[in-house]
């Protein structure tokens, strides 16, 4: 089957997302023509979707720490880390690096991990010296 007809991966979010706790299942829509942007779309409410970008695109040495519960939910292995983008009516778009979406492609689970002591911002500018989407 070609990539254009492959089903996008479905991730379970056992705790939902903050403000969307009842939304437990999200599809990760990745299209080469939109790269590095991806969509995280609710499987129950397709109109609920978040535009994201890999955190490492914005901060090449981006580091995050998972709590014990988060680690247990996701399991061992490599984790993908996405920043949710915000597009305000006025002003420049920003990325939430303080609370990234962390996905495990092994367990097919995800969490939004709040990095309260990281020094990262919830409104990181997308355009800085040397960085531009």
The H or E element spanning position 55 is helix 55-58
Q: Is the dihedral of CA 118, 60, 128, 86 positive or negative?
A: negative
* The CATH number, out of the four listed (3.40.1080.10, 3.40.50.1370, 3.40.640.10, 2.30.290.10), of the domain defined by the range 3-125: 2.30.290.10
pLDDT at 111: 97
| pTM attached to this predicted model | 0.88
| CA–CA separation, 14 and 109 (whole Å) | 8
pLDDT at 128: 58
> pLDDT by residue (tens digit) across 79-117?
999 999 999 888 899 999 999 999 999 999 999 999 988
> pLDDT by residue (tens digit) across 36-95?
999 999 999 999 999 999 999 999 999 999 999 999 999 988 999 999 999 988 889 999
Is-contact 50 84, C-beta < 8 A? yes
* Residue 24: both structure tokens together: 């437990």
| CA–CA separation, 58 and 103 (whole Å) | 18
| CA–CA separation, 64 and 74 (whole Å) | 14
């Amino acid at each position: 089957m070609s990539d254009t007809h492959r089903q996008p991966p479905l991730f379970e979010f056992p705790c939902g997302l903050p403000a969307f706790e009842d939304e437990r299942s999200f599809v990760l829509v990745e299209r080469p023509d939109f790269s590095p942007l991806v969509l995280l779309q609710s499987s129950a409410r397709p109109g609920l979707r978040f535009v994201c970008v890999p955190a490492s695109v914005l901060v090449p040495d981006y580091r995050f720490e998972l709590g014990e519960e988060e680690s247990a939910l996701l399991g061992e292995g490599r984790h993908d880390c996405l920043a949710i983008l915000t597009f305000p009516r006025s002003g420049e778009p920003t990325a939430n690096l303080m609370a990234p979406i962390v996905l495990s492609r092994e367990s097919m689970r995800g969490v939004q991990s709040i990095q309260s002591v990281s020094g990262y911002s919830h409104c990181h500018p997308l355009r800085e010296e040397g960085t531009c989407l």
